[in-house]
Structure 1
């Protein structure tokens, strides 16, 4: 199903940022990427929000602000709020960012300057973990600020810890979590370091977890949270499915052949679980048919083959543990990427309806090896996808291939790659695609909870 005008996010502003130069407001742009954090059960439990702050002021204005702050500090006065700090917290409080979190708390990267900003105290302490850079210092003024914010129930994580130096030792009593990039600390040192931190009562977060081996190693060492994309990588087809995948594949093959209602009805009748959820989908408020659907044929006609196909595609990724859709990290990642690509392609010149549908399919099936366990190429062949879709996924060819690269760069907060890719995807730019990504994440996070028409319905055995 393609986006209609009401679905498409407004692209005139920056999601979570300040206004553009022709509008009132400080000349600072702030926009965000998100990265998932998983708990020990493999469930999505939080998002790290990665801000990009683009200060468009003249260098003289920036220098004057720094000089004024230095004078205030020398005189023992409270520093005036910085322009960038104001922009950061304004962006973080924006509805678009909050909606993209699917009800999960945020971990926010902050600087020393923003830690002292008055706007910080307007945040909801129970909904945010403040990440301190490891080089933030440990002077009396900083420690006093941490103590004061702790009294207001704010929590802190120390980011990218790789050694226990004097500054780390001074900060340790005031932080609740320690983030360790498992690729940047010696394997022989990591077990002892993790053990000491656990004994100190700290929440341990493993960063850079990109393979199942990384995850298992960190899990065995007692880490509590895991950040990386190991959950979206193939691991022998071990991921539990929420419905028989062969039944879903058979249904997808039939849908691709433009079946009659009678043919689709016959195939669905072989899968009672799918019938049950199709009936629920047809009777959801999003269908707006004004009456209750009571037969399978009515459900097919009310829902439409396009919505059934999209629903079936996403169900390939649903976890079989009957967890909520918004807590399923792979399902959220797939749905967000697919929706992002569908939105993004509409902003390109000469976009067509067929390209919107193809962009969604590229996003959906770019993860298919994670659930089937074979090579990406062989699995795509089995799905009999059109050649442009396959080449976009495997070879990254064409506009759809570049959009797929762009989606991955956004997922990792790689802004340099985002900028470079946008140069060949005019009129897209980093603020615009960041806004699109938040809109896509909101769609992915709410569709399963509200049984929206695109259908992240849960399948239960």
Structure 2
């Protein structure tokens, strides 16, 4: 049984590479679990989510986890491996001697300690020698004020992370101020808006995505589309022939498509479509596009109303196309050969698909009030949503590592 929602948000370095994820749990435990102690619930959540689903998808990345005061005093973090766990001390934890002893002990055991939503004060000064990361919420502490504090700390002793970074301008300002890690959705917005026509190859990929989103795949249509693009043709044959189960080399597109089957074709097209946009983009942006596509599709499948899963898949996949191509989404949508329901969801958030996409975005940002509101509108239970998210994360991790 799952006790609450859990989402993960990427943490990027100065080059926009993903170095870790913060695992965010639902607030207000008393509303859902009045008879469960918050620290016990946190422990169960860590066990259920961090060690199972999310731990397996972290790979070499760090896992940033919030710990309430009592769980720190009880050394709950020591139940988990120290190599890629970042222990976040919540901002409402009082800086007591008891907490300092716990922090000292865990730091000595090799755990990296992070102070979350840090507000500089004399009381926290004695903690700093044992702290590896300090997180500043730039909506609370300005970048300028944070810089004043950063400049006082010897270089390299503590890594500083800027939270709630929403624009590229803020990202650049935070870099200049001395921050090395960044959290927020600045990376999922277009850097430079340019009005230009879609390249033919992009249109081909969009048409391919439309085809693979259908319940009954038209192999002939896909064959014809792939045959028009040399790069796609090469990637398809390479992809198929690299499989360990292929005993004789596959030479024709039709043979390759039939061999792959519906599910693997969709994986292949999804991956190639996203990876063929812009090489300069943050790696997490590609994964998020695919994860959104799968998450939308799974929610649509579990929705009590009649919502087409293939259209939901496309809605999620194309929701970040403006960032990948640095063009306005409304311009891209006008030129895309896709259903009107998908266009409406992407442009104005209308219809059932618009609600599904809004729910997915709210979940990613851990906006649990909005998640609850939208899930009620869509007739989805928290278990439906949790399972769909976990499955989408696993599916994407499998796709990107296969």
Q: TM-score range by the shorter chain?
A: 0.7 to 0.9
Residues 179-216 of structure 1: CA distance to partner in whole angstroms, max 9, x if unpaired?
Answer: 11223223542332232246361111011111111111
Instruction: Name the residue aligned to 2:203.
Output: 249
Alignment partner of 1:282 is 2:224? no
Q: Counterparts of 2:208 and 2:48 in 1: how far apart (Å)?
A: 45
Q: Counterparts of 1:255 and 1:395 in 2: how far apart (Å)?
A: 21
User: Per the alignment, in what secondary structure is the counterpart of residue 210 of structure 1?
Assistant: coil
What is the count of residue pairs matched by the alignment?
393
User: Per the alignment, in what secondary structure is the counterpart of residue 226 of structure 1?
Assistant: strand
User: Per the alignment, in what secondary structure is the counterpart of residue 143 of structure 1?
Assistant: helix
Shift, 1:140, TM fit: 1.5
Instruction: Name the residue aligned to 2:353.
Output: 400
Instruction: Name the residue aligned to 1:436.
Output: 388
Instruction: Assess, with a 3 A threshold, how the Cα gap between structure 1 residues 382 and 308 changes in structure 2: closer, same or farther.
Output: farther
Instruction: Assess, with a 3 A threshold, how the Cα gap between structure 1 residues 270 and 386 changes in structure 2: closer, same or farther.
Output: closer
Mapped contact 1:269–1:275 kept (Cα < 8 A): yes
User: Per the alignment, in what secondary structure is the counterpart of residue 126 of structure 1?
Assistant: coil
Larger Rg: 1
Instruction: Name the residue aligned to 2:79.
Output: 122
Q: Counterparts of 1:198 and 1:384 in 2: how far apart (Å)?
A: 55
Mapped contact 1:46–1:105 kept (Cα < 8 A): yes
Shift, 1:365, TM fit: 0.8
Q: Counterparts of 2:175 and 2:269 in 1: how far apart (Å)?
A: 32
Instruction: Name the residue aligned to 1:241.
Output: none
Instruction: Name the residue aligned to 2:20.
Output: 46
Alignment partner of 1:358 is 2:311? yes
Instruction: Assess, with a 3 A threshold, how the Cα gap between structure 1 residues 264 and 399 changes in structure 2: closer, same or farther.
Output: closer
Alignment partner of 1:181 is 2:137? yes
Instruction: Assess, with a 3 A threshold, how the Cα gap between structure 1 residues 186 and 228 changes in structure 2: closer, same or farther.
Output: closer
Q: Counterparts of 2:274 and 2:267 in 1: how far apart (Å)?
A: 12
Q: Counterparts of 1:102 and 1:329 in 2: how far apart (Å)?
A: 13
Shift, 1:113, TM fit: 0.9
Q: CA RMSD in A?
A: 3.2
User: Per the alignment, in what secondary structure is the counterpart of residue 8 of structure 2?
Assistant: strand
Equivalent residue runs for 1:323-402 within 5 Å:
328-351=283-306, 355-402=308-355
Q: Which has the higher contact order (CA 8 A, sep 6+)?
A: 1
Q: Counterparts of 2:274 and 2:129 in 1: how far apart (Å)?
A: 41
Mapped contact 1:133–1:160 kept (Cα < 8 A): yes
User: 5+ residue gaps in structure 1?
Assistant: 1-12, 15-28, 67-81, 239-243, 451-461
Mapped contact 1:38–1:226 kept (Cα < 8 A): yes
In the superposition, the TM-score normalised over structure 1's length comes to 0.76
In the superposition, the TM-score normalised over structure 2's length comes to 0.86
User: 5+ residue gaps in structure 2?
Assistant: none
Alignment partner of 1:86 is 2:39? no
Instruction: Name the residue aligned to 1:273.
Output: 231
Alignment partner of 1:422 is 2:380? no
Instruction: Name the residue aligned to 1:143.
Output: 100
Instruction: Name the residue aligned to 1:218.
Output: 174
Alignment partner of 1:134 is 2:91? yes
Residues 71-112 of structure 1: CA distance to partner in whole angstroms, max 9, x if unpaired?
Answer: xxxxxxxxxxx5335324323444122234344220001111
Which shifted more, 148-157 or 298-307?
298-307
Mapped contact 1:233–1:370 kept (Cα < 8 A): yes
Mapped contact 1:30–1:91 kept (Cα < 8 A): no
User: Per the alignment, in what secondary structure is the counterpart of residue 136 of structure 2?
Assistant: strand
Instruction: Assess, with a 3 A threshold, how the Cα gap between structure 1 residues 254 and 311 changes in structure 2: closer, same or farther.
Output: closer
